[in-house]
């Protein structure tokens, strides 16, 4: 079992899309990338914690590759807008890949270079070593599924 973490705007939609992939074992939404211990949603929304809304993905490398997860990540959002996705504005909505291994880092950097060819504007996606994961409040977990909503 491997782990990957992605931020691409509001974590609700991203979680739902990663959950659809064969080989993804489990997803959780939460916060990572900042310097604030035990943040709450309210803390993260203050834009003062440095954390991004992220989806932690546990996956079976025999069934799905990190490269495939990256391909899906790029399709789920606009990686050329800094600190925003659509109407969601703030650093917590930034585009970020948080890697767990040097191999993931290398693949993320290569993938970003390839993806840049598809965009006129510069990709602003951060690539950063994964830090401590802070699980979001329970009502955020699988939110769209719980509410029977589709985006």
Active site residues: 10
Q: Mention every residue, 6+ apart, whose C-beta is less than 8 A from residue 8.
A: 14, 73, 76, 77, 79, 85, 95, 96
List, in sequence order, every residue forming a beta bridge with 8; answer none if it has no partner: 95
- 3-state secondary structure string, 85-114? ECCEECHHHCEEEEECCHHHHHHHHHHHHH
Contact 55, 14 (CB under 8 A): yes
* 5 burial type by CB count under 10 A (0-12 exposed, 13-18 middle, 19+ buried): buried
């Amino acid at each position: 079992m491997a782990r990957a973490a992605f931020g691409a705007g509001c974590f609700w939609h991203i979680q739902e899309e990663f959950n659809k992939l064969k080989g993804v074992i489990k997803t959780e939404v939460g916060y990572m990338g900042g310097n604030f211990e035990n943040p709450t949603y309210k803390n993260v929304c203050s834009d003062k914690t440095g954390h991004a809304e992220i989806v932690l993905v546990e996956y079976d490398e025999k069934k799905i590759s990190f490269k495939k997860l990256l391909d899906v990540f790029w399709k789920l959002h606009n990686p050329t807008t800094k600190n925003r996705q659509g109407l969601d504005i703030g650093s917590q909505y930034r585009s970020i890949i948080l890697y767990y291994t040097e191999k993931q880092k290398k693949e993320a950097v290569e993938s970003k270079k390839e993806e840049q060819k598809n965009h006129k504007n510069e990709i602003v996606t951060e690539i950063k070593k994964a830090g401590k994961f802070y699980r979001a409040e329970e009502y955020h977990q699988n939110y769209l599924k719980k509410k029977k909503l589709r985006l």
